Amino acid sequence: MRNPVLRLYLTVRKPRNFLRLLCLFITTSLILHVFRGYDADWGSTNLILSIEATIAGAVMLMVQEEAAEMQEKMLKALVSMAEAQHAMLADYGALLLAIKDADERLLNVLTAKEKNDDLA
């Protein structure tokens, strides 16, 4: 989210901030409606709230898409790490088998030499 307007909107749209702003807007609208006759049929207030809800829906979908893209990238990186670890462990297993084989051959040579020494 590099867009400063989007960051500002999301900051204002945080539940606690938005609730305060919404209460202020409704209170102001009610006071102006009663004392000044502002928005006699509540059309402007309804329109403003509808526009904000539509914008909020669009912004939240955009943020959700960005989060899904980030999650996909993270999942791909995690799969790559798991594959690399699998390859490393396979190499390590092969190395351990090679060491085991070498140790067994050495043990066979040493036990065969001991038997030859005992016979002599």
Q: What is the pLDDT of residues 53-94, one digit of tens each?
A: 998 888 889 889 999 999 999 999 999 999 999 999 999 999
Handedness of CA 91, 92, 93, 97 (dihedral sign): positive
Encoded tokens for 78: 């995690």
Rounded average pLDDT over 11-30: 88
The more confidently predicted of residues 56 and 113 is 56
pLDDT at 1: 53
pTM of the model: 0.56
Domain around 98: 4-119
Provide CB contacts within 8 A for 55, sequence distance 6+: 9
What are the tens digits of pLDDT across the range 27-60? 999 999 999 999 999 899 899 999 989 988 888 8
Structurally, the chain folds into a number of domains equal to 1
